[in-house]
Amino acid sequence: MSLSTMLATMSWGMLRTCAIFFLTILFSMPLGMVVMFLRRSRFGLVRAITKIYIAIMRGTPLMLQLLMWYFGPYYLFGLPIRGYRFAAIIIGFSMNYAAYFAEIYRGGIEAIPQGQYEAAEVLGYNSVQTFFKIILPQVIKMILPSVTNEIITLVKDTSLAFTLAYNEMFSLAKQIAASQTSFMPFVIAGVFYFIANYAVAFAMERIEKAFDYYS
């Protein structure tokens, strides 16, 4: 198999990998904010349940979680799982990464001095205005390095979709390498992951610079 043919064959897998990445970011980042607010709830039961959720998501392998999201509906409720593979992958990734983002958000918010809330109250801001106009911009600047690390990790974790026999790029690379007895598919996959991570790091660096005025 020529290099051009190999690239053409793997291009579909690359698109699938990108789809997992972007959909996970789309759902997990806002969900992480919701989880963070629940984690900081004034109701003890809500806080306890949220802490258990975060502990499970962070304390068990993502590969195991993907298997549970995919096979769970069938084994627990007898529901058909035909056509559910991609949805299970997105749910599994989003729920897992939401827990990590929630803790990053929480750490950023709790690092803001209480005096800023009090100063905002003196200036006549309500709680919503205080959060979005004063607290959130500072939190975003503070947590961007940690968020960048998680996003870079996500790029590499997309390869775990092979657990559910989903033909993303890494799965196709393994299949082609086995059938052609060639190491080149792994090289192509490695280059793709490197370029993707470099693009993420570059974009996040630009965002960090955009928040420099909060220094």
pLDDT in tens, the chain (215 residues): 677 777 888 888 899 999 999 999 999 999 999 999 999 999 999 999 999 999 999 999 999 999 999 999 888 888 888 888 999 999 999 999 999 999 999 999 988 888 888 888 888 888 888 888 888 888 888 899 999 999 999 999 999 998 898 888 888 888 888 888 888 888 988 999 999 999 999 999 888 888 775 55
Task: Of 196, 151, 136, 204, give the one whose Cα is nearest residue 28.
Answer: 151
| Amino acid residing at 44 | G
Longest dimension (CA), the chain: 70
Select from 1.10.3720.10, 3.40.50.1220, 1.10.357.10, 1.10.287.110 the CATH code of 3-214: 1.10.3720.10
Place of tokens 């390498």: 177
Distance (Å, whole) CA 46 – CA 18 = 34
pTM for this prediction: 0.89
**CA angle, corner 16, sides to 12 and 22, nearest 5?**
140
Find the Cα–Cα–Cα–Cα dihedral 127, 204, 97, 54, rounded to 10°. Answer: -50
Question: Which H helix or E strand runs over 76?
Answer: helix 62-77
